Chain A
Amino acid sequence: MNRPKGLTTIIMAGGKGERLFPLTRNQAKPAITFGGLYRIIDFTLSNCLHSGIRQIYVLSQYGSFSLDRHLKQAWDIMHPDLGEYIHSMPPQQIMVNRWYRGTADSIYQNLTLLEEERPKQVLILSGDHVYKMNYQEMLDFHLGHQADMTVAAVMVPRREGSSLGILHVDADSQVVNFLEKPAEPPPIPGNPNYCLASMGVYFFRAEVLVEEVIKDAKHTKSSHDFGKDIIPQMVGRKRVFAFNFQEPGGAAPRYWRDIGMLDAYFRAHLDLLGEKPVFDLFDRDWPIRGRPQLTPPSRYTSPSHVLLEDCLIAGGCQIQGNLRRSVLSPRVQVGPGAQVDDAILWERVAIGAGATVRKAIIEDGVKVPPGFAIGVDLKQDAKRFHVTENGIVVVPNNAVLE
Chain B
Amino acid sequence: MKTILVVDDDEAIRILLQEELTEEGYRVITASNARDALKIVEQEALNLVILDIRMPGMDGLEALPRILGMKEGLPVIFNTAYSQYQESFMSWAADAYVIKSADLSELKNKIKELLT
Contacts and interface: CB of A to CB of B under 8 A. Distances in A.
Do they bind each other? Answer: yes
Interface string A177-219: 0000000000000000000000000000000001100100110
Given A114-B89, A115-B90, A210-B92, A96 B69 contact: yes
B72 A111 contact: no
B55 to A, nearest CB: 17
B69 A97 contact: yes
A115 B88 CA distance: 7
A210 B69 contact: no
Nearest to A218: B73
B21 interface: no
A112 interface: yes
A96 B62 CA distance: 10
Given A112-B90, A115-B89, A210-B89, A95 B69 contact: yes
Given A214-B93, A217-B93, A220-B72, A96 B88 contact: no
Interface residues of B, number: 12
Interface in B87-108: 88-90, 92-93
Contacts of A95: 62, 65-66, 69
B89 A218 contact: no
A220 B68 CA distance: 11
A220 B66 contact: no
Interface of B: 62, 65-66, 68-69, 72-73, 88-90, 92-93
Interface of A: 95-98, 111-112, 114-115, 210-211, 214, 217-218, 220
8 contacts: A95-B69, A96-B68, A97-B66, A98-B69, A111-B93, A211-B92, A214-B92, A217-B93
